[in-house]
Amino acid sequence: MRLELVSRLGSLAAGARNLGELFRALHEETERVMDATVFLFALYDEASETVQVVRQMDRGVEHSGGSFPLGKGFTSEVIRTGAPRLVRRWSAEGPPVRLLYGTEAGDLVTPQSGVVVPILSGDRVLGVLSAQSYRPEAYEEADLLSLSAIAAQAGITIQRLRVTEQMAVEHERHASELEAVLATMNDALLIVDARGAIVRLNRAARELLCLDSASLVFGQPLEQQRLERWPVTAREIAAALVPVIDALRSGASHAGMEIELGSGQLRVLSLGASVLRSPKGVPQGGVIVFRDITGQRELERLREDIFAMAWHDMKTPITVIRGHAELLLRRLSCGERDPKVLESDAALIVEHTDHLSKLLTTLFDISSLEAGLLSISPRPTDLGALTRDVTRGMRATARRNIEVLAHQGVVGRWDEQRIRQVLTNLLSNALKYSPEGSTVTVSLTADERSVTVRVSDEGIGLDDIELAQLFRRGYRAEPARKLAGAGLGLYFCNGIVTAHGGRMWAESFGHGRGSTFCFTLPLREEHGADRPVEDRA
């Protein structure tokens, strides 16, 4: 009988999802085996030493519980001692009980007998069960045992409910931790469900897609989104996503896929997608992660550019140097002693070695600029004198007329070596991109705040689209590609001028109508000296 009771209760109590359901299961079982006219189920909170009544039953009516501090009654005694208590005649053995019914506060009920048993977990008292009757002598020792068996089952269920509650708290904590991770992630992340509908995206994804929350409908597949209202970038990404989502739905992950966004500025995204599966292994959608790798790609491209430039531009001087050195050796071994001949061979070697070292400096400068490490050391510099000096050096081989319209004495604090590099670059471009016999004019104008340098030619010219892109690293306009070059010179010059606190721009009336490259430098130093050039790419 008792065993039957316990196993039945086991299944009843095991189904309880909360303490209220457990109370009902306990009451039902108790009243099968004993008088449970009044029935009480309470938990004990050790920390506050209070008894928390879960529910009470009195003559078939369920009352909500209350709480009271551990006191002198039988309930408190059982909690304190951990031992069950049989009260045969309440009036003789203890005080009348004032029940804590919310509806009839303070009602005095006078049960005549009762059993109170602890709900134990090892030595710890989790709470109590109490059955009472308005009849005296309603209980005997066997009832104590029965109620203790019911209490043992109650103990197991309470523990289980506490674990579940703990798990719910843990689950919530994990969810909020995950939320925080997603929000601070630099990578964009999308979660799609089994139907391929977007159910979640983080801040980075929203930024990348340029979507405000209103333009994306959560829970709808991509093809049902109002894509025509999405910004171009988002539409391009969405187009790339369709096959990825389809693959996820059929259980295929993707790794290391790259998408190039062509509209507007070139952007490269790397994408990875992993399938989420149910415990049985059925695909349940997946997680898609994007990363903007444009910067990384640009750096790789720069390295390739530099390598190509180094390969291309160094091959010639190295061949020439080797040729002349061999020639010199041969002459010496043949007994050639004419100092003029030997000198001319040696001079050629020196000249090409200089050329090589200049090339190496340019390569180094570009990579320093890229890394934000190009330093500027301003000293008093006469820009007029510097311009004359640079043009003088180039005139001999120019095969074009070079005119200089420069005031003397435009002195400011600039890095002479760096400005020399800028002038040399602009001037050699003007010569390179204009026909033999034409004129290149360098002019200097100054007001009290700044000086402006203009290098004008009568060459191939530039259209508006080209003018807008000239200063991007590696840019070369179509008509210029017939001539050698790596598209790094203007990028570098612009970096130097910007680091001086100046500005650089170009003007042209169009193809075949010549161009003018201009830059200004401040005459009073308003910018920080000796600071590295910022990467403006």
Q: List contacts with ligand ADP (CB under 6 A).
A: 429-430, 433, 457, 459-460, 462, 470, 475-477, 480, 485-491, 515
Picking from 65, 59, 67, 116, the residue whose alpha carbon sits closest to that of residue 93 is: 116
Residue nearest to ligand ADP (CB): 485
* 85 vs 473, beta carbon nearer ligand ADP: 473
Quick one: DSSP state of residue 202? -
- Exposure of 332 in the CB half-sphere (CA atoms within 13 A): 10
Find the angle CA(350)-CA(493)-CA(373) to the nearest 5 degrees: 85
Burial class (CB in 10 A: 0-12, 13-18, 19+), 446: buried
* 68 vs 475, beta carbon nearer ligand ADP: 475
Backbone angles phi, psi at 267, to 5 degrees: -130, 140
* 129 vs 455, beta carbon nearer ligand ADP: 455
* 450 vs 494, beta carbon nearer ligand ADP: 494
Q: Which two tokens stand for residue 207?
A: 């930024």
3-class SS shares of the chain: helix, strand, coil, % to 5:
45, 25, 30
- Least Å distance, CB 373 to ligand ADP, is 20
**How are beta strands 401-405 and 439-446 bridged, if at all?**
parallel
Report how far residue 352's alpha carbon sits from residue 181's, in angstroms, rounded to the nearest whole number.
Answer: 57
* 29 vs 313, beta carbon nearer ligand ADP: 313
* 84 vs 459, beta carbon nearer ligand ADP: 459
* 76 vs 516, beta carbon nearer ligand ADP: 516
Report how far residue 70's alpha carbon sits from residue 44's, in angstroms, rounded to the nearest whole number.
Answer: 9
3-state DSSP call for residue 239? helix
- Least Å distance, CB 317 to ligand ADP, is 17
- Least Å distance, CB 484 to ligand ADP, is 7
Picking from 440, 457, 535, the residue whose alpha carbon sits closest to that of residue 496 is: 535
Unique residue bearing structure tokens 């920080």? 528
- Least Å distance, CB 489 to ligand ADP, is 3
Contact 63, 102 (CB under 8 A): yes
- Least Å distance, CB 197 to ligand ADP, is 48
- Least Å distance, CB 512 to ligand ADP, is 10
- Least Å distance, CB 491 to ligand ADP, is 6
